[in-house]
Chains A and B, each alone.
Chain A
């Protein structure tokens, strides 16, 4: 835990202590939380990172944290064995699929039926995500392609559920570690923190987290997409120079 996280923790402890003082403004919001950082920078050395969420609740209740990455329309293709080899055959398009999904919650949250009904209603959790298909598809394709897509995202580390990932450090004080792997896409991520009590949302907080490429890698990517012709010429020029330089260096041996 870095010094900054420790500072955040102390600040939250003080705030949590403040809960015991009767204060109408505080009583109106029984949930407070904050992220250890609100931006993730993909640098040349980026290999994934953790974002810590700290918070405090007043009274009893379960905490649920949900992170959704930028959404886009995607196509899922299914391979079938054809003439002995596996070839992409059927495909199904899905609209507005989050590129990243994390759910972390206090342990035992789904042991009560009202909480389970609540997450279904809110579309929380990989099983409940509201994913609509694009165009007409054959019967039965929706469920199987949806499940295949989610399994792929999970295998890539982009979708995960962590029941028990919200840990209570003391009375009312909690933390959750949210992992972002190296293959996260850039954009704005929505972080939502829920305080649940007997199947009802008592309080909800929204945060946003920006994932961006910075440094030379970001410039290379932007250059390649904004000026593709110039990028191509540059790639050739670099290769020619490197090749001739190598030929020159090793010629005399």
Chain B
């Protein structure tokens, strides 16, 4: 059954979209990740214009983080003060990101920018996850030397120190501000929540307790992706509600199955699997960039809005 997507202006099979939503939802439930970094490239692979894929995926992440955050709020796993500082940076970053998005679109480089960003981030994250999980698999059984939990670096000498009670931290507000800013830009340019970057940074860079990391990052992601959705709709008219809703239905159901299935697999194996998948998507994107395209000419409307 074909459905015409009003903003993407293309006709797509409904079941393909439901299956994609379900598949990525399953993986996000399985691995406990947002899934934006897989869904945006997949949408581009099936022919959705990259700008529409990015903006629509941001809209879908609003929904998935909204369903996740309530549970974390009930368990008091959200550091609202930290979330607010991250958010201030995130709003600034997403504002700049959407503006940059429009500029790149006008000069015809937005597709390249989106694809390159994905190649770089998926490549780095996939490689890191793969080495980490294979090391963990090898090390199992024998204990490695424990590293110190808190190491003092130049980061602790930065000014504007703030106390974050829930996270039991006394650190410079500049750290979460900059982190939020970077993640906000990624949300605008790549249509990802940015959890894959923010969660490791919160643990290793800020030194937050792992219990509050997921809830706090969801809090920031919810507001930043909502802001990105609004700005993309306002400036570029690239948010496709129909597409977002179809992906959402599949994703919600898929995530439930994924979460249940995930309890049967071991952590290191799971992360190894996810790492391979991330690298596969990265390789496909890179392959498309380096092989001679079917047509080296592309058509855009003059004035930027293609």
Q: Which residues of A contact B (CB under 8 A)?
A: 42-48, 72-81, 84-88, 91, 93, 134, 145, 148-149, 151-153, 155, 182-183, 213, 216-218, 220-221, 224-225, 228-229, 231-236, 238-240, 242-244, 246-247, 250-251, 253
Question: Contacts of B302 on A, CB cut-off 8 Å?
Answer: 72-75, 93, 134
Question: Contacts of A224 on B, CB cut-off 8 Å?
Answer: 6-7, 233, 237, 239
B84: interface (CB < 8 Å):
no
Name the 9 nearest CB pairs between A and B, nearest first.
A243-B66, A148-B297, A232-B233, A247-B67, A243-B63, A239-B62, A232-B230, A239-B63, A182-B11
Whether the pair A152, B295 counts as a contact (CB closer than 8 A) is yes
CB distance from A88 to the nearest CB of B (A): 5
Given known contacts A153-B299, A221-B7, A236-B59, is B290 in contact with A85 (CB within 8 Å)? Answer: yes
In the bound complex, CA of A63 to CA of B38 (Å): 52
| Selected contact of A242 from candidates B233, B245, B294, B301, CB within 8 Å | B245
Given known contacts A228-B237, A247-B71, is B229 in contact with A235 (CB within 8 Å)? Answer: yes
CB distance from A18 to the nearest CB of B (A): 42
B68: interface (CB < 8 Å):
yes
Whether the pair A253, B256 counts as a contact (CB closer than 8 A) is yes
A-B contact pairs, 25 of them (CB 8 A): A45-B1, A45-B2, A73-B302, A74-B302, A77-B298, A85-B290, A134-B302, A217-B5, A217-B242, A220-B241, A220-B242, A221-B7, A225-B237, A229-B234, A231-B237, A232-B239, A235-B230, A235-B244, A239-B66, A239-B226, A240-B62, A242-B252, A243-B67, A243-B68, A243-B248
Known: A151-B297, A229-B233. 16 other contacts (CB 8 A): A47-B11, A74-B301, A77-B297, A79-B298, A87-B109, A213-B6, A217-B4, A217-B242, A220-B6, A220-B242, A221-B6, A232-B232, A236-B226, A243-B68, A244-B67, A244-B70
Whether the pair B229, A236 counts as a contact (CB closer than 8 A) is yes
**A-B pairs with beta carbons under 8 A, tally:** 183
CB distance from A125 to the nearest CB of B (A): 20
Whether the pair B233, A231 counts as a contact (CB closer than 8 A) is yes
Most buried by A among B5, B63, B239, B297: B297
In the bound complex, CA of A32 to CA of B262 (Å): 69
Whether the pair A228, B245 counts as a contact (CB closer than 8 A) is no
Given known contacts A46-B4, A47-B2, is B297 in contact with A235 (CB within 8 Å)? Answer: no
Closest A residue by C-beta to B295: A152
Q: Which residues of B contact A (CB under 8 A)?
A: 1-7, 9-11, 59-60, 62-68, 70-71, 108-109, 112, 116, 226, 229-235, 237, 239, 241-242, 244-245, 248, 252, 256, 289-290, 292-303
Whether the pair A88, B298 counts as a contact (CB closer than 8 A) is yes
Given known contacts A93-B302, A232-B229, is B296 in contact with A243 (CB within 8 Å)? Answer: no
Whether the pair A44, B252 counts as a contact (CB closer than 8 A) is no
Whether the pair B66, A149 counts as a contact (CB closer than 8 A) is no
Closest B residue by C-beta to A46: B4
In the bound complex, CA of A46 to CA of B7 (Å): 14
| Selected contact of B7 from candidates A42, A220, A253, CB within 8 Å | A220
Question: Contacts of B67 on A, CB cut-off 8 Å?
Answer: 243-244, 246-247, 250
Closest B residue by C-beta to A148: B297
Given known contacts A46-B4, A236-B59, is B64 in contact with A243 (CB within 8 Å)? Answer: yes
Most buried by B among A78, A183, A235: A235
Question: Contacts of A183 on B, CB cut-off 8 Å?
Answer: 9-11
Question: Contacts of B300 on A, CB cut-off 8 Å?
Answer: 74-77
Question: Contacts of A44 on B, CB cut-off 8 Å?
Answer: 3-4
Whether the pair B6, A218 counts as a contact (CB closer than 8 A) is yes
In the bound complex, CA of A97 to CA of B259 (Å): 52
